Homo-oligomer: A and B are copies of this chain.
Amino acid sequence: MSTLSDQLLKMERHNSIFESAVRALPLPVCAAFGDAVRPQPVAFAASGRVLGTRDGEQVAASFPHSVQASGNAVLAAAGVNRAAPRGKRVAVLFSGGPAAGGHNVVCGLKRVLGPDNTLFGVRPGPKGLIKGQLFEITEADIDRVINTGGFDFLGTDRTKIKTDAQFAYVKETCLKNSIDAIVVIGGDDSNTNAAVLAEFLFKGVKADGSGVQVIGVPKTIDGDLQIGDLLPISFGFDTATKIYGEMVGNILQDTRSSLKYWHFIKLMGRSASHVTMEVALQTKPAITLVSEEIAEKKQSLAAIVEEIAQAVAVRVGKGINHGVVLIPEGVIEFIPEMNALIAELNDVLAHHAAEFAAAADKAAFVAGRLTRGNARLLASLPAYVVRMLLADRDSHGNLQVSLIPTEQLLVDMVKARLQEIDADIPFAAHCHFLGYEGRCGAPTLFDAAYTYNLGLTAGSLILDGRTGYMATVTDLDRGGEPRAIPLTGLLNIERRHGKDEFVIEKALVKMDSPAMQYLLSRRAAWAAEDLFCSPGPRQLWGPAARQMPISVALNSGAQSLEFRIG
């Protein structure tokens, strides 16, 4: 036993057999970077393409340096950068929820900066930048974290840099550590924050009057950071949806084996339904709710329940007493009547905070202050949902939607409705919420390669003297092209918490997108009989390893699911 227990000891601290093997996996690079083993930085040049939003004028007024410098033009690779500077000191940080591939962004950055420049890790997230918590990242660190999941190498947090004091601290951190550039790896909010930071640090930071460059890298498992062909998908989405896809496929297989259960599965992804749609395309379950479709059709909760109950009844009529229902995390807020109720609740709670806190019967207190329709809707909901609807708001005064057990609510309502239709219809259901399991898994080959090349792109942008861009890699089914998106070209103005704010709009599922149209074309068939498939565990080796997300392939007009970088 001693040999084996020695081996087990060596597996502690990220040295499972899988983790050790995956570190040795070679990563392909876009042709623009030259050799895969020793990738070179590329130089960039403005492509003809210029971005802009309806709020372009106000953006230009608020981000004068950035807009003047970039002209909001998309950058394309223009050959290897033979004049890359030396001695650059670059800081990198994670911002927001973790997503698979983050470590490889850091690895790509380190490799392209090479031994002539210095890379610092900021720990954890924007908070670490404010506090000045930096450490030098070594080659040994890179060899250790490459191809592993999670953000644990640097940690992450959700601090938004917005007060004058916070900006001053960031400037101090840069000065104290002679930082020349910052790479922010994050979602829509974090990239908006990167744009603000880029403008703030554009010049006059250092003694010689120069500034600090800021580059964003697009991360989010939610898939709601998409910019057409320029950013077909953020990193982490593929890994998360393949993890959820495997679990849903396993459960589908279980329904047809056990022959007696329905499973209602809620999937992470905040507002947009991209995750749910991708998992549905992978697995083909009986029922898939899409929040954006519910909003467009203005469906009521009762109508959704009726649709599910009818589908259950039809299947039972064919002897199929089982099935799977996929539910997007944010669906509640897309049901118009629920959205109206939640909005009025937010108002009532904000305006009567003290009285509400003191009220003995909170539901009654609130009901008395709601309009009649909303009071009736609230009264129709089970106690555990009312409790969550009245629970503490987040720091922005918003309901924490993920805490509402939508999957249990739907099970209970469908069960009650089936009792009305026909008390003999068998209906036994289990609930699941798949979320945290998907954020920190080992990256798929797609995410591993994509993020490594995002890191190479971000590093190249820094060595090319750019600031205020988001790194991207396009043409993921045709070799991959490093590009840069001017962050100011993405900004819109949105009213949040009573004041105008610049934001990168979240990309919702478009009803007319090829992926949604494909789902709509097959959904009825999947409800009528078991046509599901099981995507299986994601493979890093062998014939099943090179798949990109189905929705991304459909929306980008790819001819197959195979991605191709390099």
Contact = CB atoms under 8 A, between A and B. Distances in A.
Interface in A527-565: 530-545, 547, 550, 553-554, 557-561
A246 interface: yes
A424 interface: no
Interface string A74-106: 000000000000000000001001100000000
A400 interface: no
Interface residues on A, range: 35 or more
B18 A534 contact: yes
B542 A258 contact: no
Interface in A128-161: 148-152, 155-157
A437 B13 CA distance: 26
A8 B250 contact: no
A259 interface: yes
Most buried by B among A15, A261, A439, A514: A439
A531 B439 CA distance: 20
A18 to B, nearest CB: 3
A169 to B, nearest CB: 20
Contacts of A261: 436
A561 to B, nearest CB: 7
A548 B521 CA distance: 43
Contacts of A157: 259
Interface in A469-513: none
A282 to B, nearest CB: 7
Given A1-B557, A247-B437, A281-B8, A547 B258 contact: no
Given A251-B437, A541-B544, 18 more contacts: A4-B558, A8-B518, A9-B522, A12-B522, A12-B532, A19-B533, A21-B542, A22-B536, A98-B253, A124-B259, A149-B250, A243-B537, A250-B439, A251-B436, A254-B440, A442-B534, A537-B540, A539-B539
Interface of A: 1, 3-5, 7-9, 11-19, 21-22, 24, 94, 97-98, 124, 148-152, 155-157, 243, 246-247, 249-251, 253-254, 256-259, 261, 263, 281-282, 284, 430, 432, 436-442, 514, 518, 522, 530-545, 547, 550, 553-554, 557-561
5 contacts: A4-B560, A17-B543, A246-B441, A539-B542, A541-B543
